[in-house]
Chain A
Amino acid sequence: MSDIPHQVSDFISKSAPFDVLDEDKVSAIATKTKVIYLTPDNQQALLAEHQPSLFLIQTGQFTIYDENGAERFLSDGDYFGFIALMEPGKGQIEVKIDSPGVVYCIPKKMFDVALENRRVKKFFADAKDDVLLNQAVEDSNSMWLYKPLHEQLTKAPIQIEQHDSIQLAAQIMSQHGVSSLIVTEDDHLIGIVTDRDLRNRVVAEGMDISLGVNTIMTENPAYVLHNQNMFSAISLMSEKNIHHLPVLHADDRSPVGMVTTSDVIRKQRGNVLFMIGELSKTANLYELTRIAWQMPQYFAANAKRAGDFDIAGKVLSQATDIMTRKLIAFFIEQHGPAPMGYCWVVYGSQAREDQTMGSDQDNALLLAQSPNEAEAEYFKQMAEYVCKGLGKCGIKLCDGNIMASNPELRLSVDDAVVQAKKWVNQPTPEAILAFNIFLDARAVEGDRALFKNLQQRRKPLFKNDFFLAALARNANSDAVPLSVFNKFVYRKHNGKKDCINLKVNAIALINNLARLYSLSAGITVPNTVERLNILGQINVISTEHANNLRDIWLFLNRLRWRHQLRNNVTDNIISVSDLSSLEQHQLKASFKSIHRAQQTVVMKLSGGIA
């Protein structure tokens, strides 16, 4: 039996996907692994000696050329040689050593052992096909109601053995303040007793309270398993018209808790979708701000899983929409109806429905025609009231003054079209920066026909080749934070050295790409995920490419929401050491994909001049 140096098992078990393997497997793999120091002088001999192996780089920088001549720049934590292992006869590589370093050689036999794990297999299959590893994206449809029950149960099960007396049952129930008990035989569920049973079967019948509780229980009650979700529980309770539902552990069927109708009602109060209902019910600014200020806590308490983060931006944007509508309604109550048709338009993250806790408000008023002085005054007051009101609700005022309270953003449809023409004719870099945000727009309140009219009239302008080329060049001015050798390029933030701005250096880049292709195709929906779906469907970009970008967007969005909620911050600057090893790999793969997509868009839309 050999001994494994700590740093070896540490390194292997921290390198995704081996982080999913248990200690024994990692030790077994480590024992058969060879550690080499790969240099330009010895590479021929060493690779001949150790191939076929999975090569895991610990230090050093290497360029790998595949059989098609494509090159990959690899460094710490990267792998090579796996294609030859998975498809014998394929995956011939040439290695150029840019900087020598320590490489672990995991022989084929042990690689095959590791592949017995489904997740390890998927990791390398995906890496082989160069797609984002998105096992996390698979559960994208999960919503608030789909949280497993064991995450929601707050109390240990209150239970009683079947031969204990009815009186003891009543005593336990009042002691714990519960309205039902699980009745067990050898710790296994055989029935339940509720308040109602005590009333109907004991008191009303004048039954002897020293009898066993099994004489009054409901036998073989319906139950759910701990890994099922609240949605299943509610469905079952409605279907059977019951108010108490025991929860059993899926493995050994031991009781782990009880779901009751009052739990469900309480849960709904803790549901952010429930917040939307509450916001809608408010009758004045005070009530509105009081509910709005609770949003961050509701999010922090309820958004825990990847699927939650996917809809969090949407929920927050919906909530902001409702706040806006409410504020406009309050204003009209006080100042009378608007003197002409208007439409409240939102831009940027609210329009895309990907707001986060740190998003500020971007909005404007679109008017049916140029207002006279009195009309202008009315809309000025409305805009100021709404923008300030949103500020009071916790939606920050816009630093760039992109708000309806800015007189330049209260234009008639005709003037807005003139403005769009100006952008298209003079797309200087500064101008692009300034108006990029207006290209993601959505109507929230008022006469939506005005907004539609504007969109229709702007659409042909935005398809202008020179304009798109300028936008494409601009879209490439920000790069993903990866060095040529595939290393993260970090910035310092809050005392941490390994930080990356997910918004500026990744999410915004995908937003830019989706926007560009959408403009070129005349798609007016502002949401990035929807844009990518449509672009893939109508083949502006390949479905595969569109889906990959969408999955990357969702992945990055999850990372930033989790960062904001866990750390109670409003920035988008994450520390890479806070991510799991798999997430670090996914992040790198995402950046690479974004970089490639940026290069493609320049080729397509600006004639290759970046």
Chain B
Amino acid sequence: MGTLANLSGKIKAFFGQHQGLPESIANLALKDCPWLAVDFEFSCMDPKTAKFMSAGWIEGTSMGIDLESGYYRLIRAKGDLAQSPIIHGLTARDIAHGSHVKELFEQIIQFADSHVWVLHNAQLDMVMLKQLSIRLGMPLPTIVCVDTMQLALYQLHKTMSVIPTGAATLGACRERLDLAPALAHNALSDALATLELWLAQMHILDATGQTTLQELKATGAIKVFARPVA
């Protein structure tokens, strides 16, 4: 527990303490929010050595998910890819032919101002994105995220004191809400699966969609990642 609190503290330090929501969107109702569901695949789970393998995202609003906005890229990489390519079904050759990670960074940060990002377990993805920005020497704008995993945990905590292992995975969360099983381990597939989950979660949270982002903060599912206040 101590290490976890420690890590959480480090992350907060890394991003800056308790960032508030940008005023412009704090009072935006969920039904009016533009969403961007994002998922990255990494070569391993250790932020120190992990590399971006692929990225996928897709846009939507409460009126629907726009499949035309689907984006999927493999990231060109060098060196040791650990075990992950096997899990992700990618071969070294696929990866060698992918996009440069800089291109990915440039494209995705264009959505920082226009969309609230939706991720299932935002922490690792955002730490990786931050590190990438440092490595590329490019600034990372403020990003507002909804974490569907945190929201699921918030909802689970209401009914049980001990959360069973695996209860908050994307698959388990979708199953609880009667959504179709989705293929795991493809960044775009997971992004769509996450966005569908978020639409279903919103319905349970507030069927009318009047809740604002500021109000949603109470669930712990809203996260703001920004440069540390210098």
Q: Please give the residue numbers on chain A whose beta carbons come within 8 Å of chain B beta carbons, in ascending order.
A: 2-8, 10-11, 30-37, 39-42, 45-46, 49-50, 58-60, 99-102, 105
Choice from A3, A11, A30 contacting B188 with Cβ under 8 Å: A3
Among B31, B66, B189, the residue within 8 A (CB) of A7 is B189
Cross-chain contact B178 with A105 (CB below 8 angstroms) = no
Query: In the complex, what's the smallest C-beta–C-beta distance from A341 to chain B, in angstroms?
Result: 67
Q: Which residue of A lies closest to B195 (CB)?
A: A35
Set B64, B70, B196, B207: member contacting A4, Cβ < 8 A: B70
Q: How far is the CB of B215 from chain A (nearest CB, A)?
A: 17
Chain A binder among B40-48, B123-131, B179-187: B179-187
Residues of B within 8 A of A49 (CB): 63-64
B112 at the interface (CB under 8 A from A): no
Question: A34, A41, A46, A58: which contacts B67 (Cβ < 8 A)?
Answer: A34
Task: Decide if B38 is an interface residue (CB 8 Å cutoff).
Answer: no
Chain B, range 69-86, C-beta contacts under 8 Å to A: 69-72
In the assembly, what is the distance between CA of A482 and CA of B204, in Å? 29
Cβ-defined partner of A59 (8 Å) among B62, B179, B208: B179
Which of the residues A3, A4, A35 comes within 8 Å of B65, measured between beta carbons?
A: A35
Is the CB of B209 closer than 8 A to any CB of chain A? yes
Cβ of B178 and Cβ of A59 under 8 Å apart? yes
Interface of B is mostly: mixed
Query: A99 and B178: CB pair below 8 A?
Result: yes
Residues in B whose Cβ lies below 8 Å from that of A2: 67-71
Task: Answer yes or no: B171 CB below 8 A from chain A CBs.
Answer: no
Extra 12 A-B pairs, beta carbons < 8 Å, given A36-B199, A37-B200: A2-B70, A5-B67, A7-B182, A7-B183, A7-B189, A11-B180, A31-B67, A32-B68, A37-B203, A39-B207, A46-B64, A60-B178
Question: Shortest beta-carbon distance, A13 to chain B, in Å?
Answer: 14
Residue ranges of B at the interface with A (Cβ–Cβ < 8 Å): 31, 56, 58, 60, 62-72, 178-180, 182-183, 186, 188-189, 191-193, 196, 199-200, 203, 207-209
CA distance A10 to B193 in the complex (A): 14
Cα(A41)–Cα(B207), bound, Å: 6
A42 touches B183 (CB 8 A): no
Nearest residue (CB) in A for B181 is A7
Which residues on B sit within 8 Å (CB–CB) of A6?
183, 186, 188-189
Q: Specify the chain A residue showing the minimal Cβ separation from B191.
A: A5
Known A4-B67, A4-B70: A35·B209 in contact at CB below 8 Å:
no
| CA distance in complex: A102, B196 (Å) | 8
Do B182 and A30 touch across chains, with their CB atoms under 8 A apart?
no
**Is there an interface contact between B178 and A5, defined as CB atoms closer than 8 Å?**
no
Nearest B residue to A34 via CB reads B64
A-B contact pairs, 12 of them (CB 8 A): A2-B67, A6-B183, A7-B183, A10-B183, A11-B180, A34-B64, A34-B65, A34-B67, A42-B62, A45-B63, A60-B178, A102-B179
**Structural contact, B189 and A5, CB atoms closer than 8 A:** yes
- Rounded to whole Å, the gap between the CB of B195 and the closest CB of chain A is 8
Q: Nearest 8 pairs between A and B by C-beta?
A: A37-B199, A3-B72, A34-B64, A35-B65, A41-B207, A5-B192, A36-B64, A3-B70
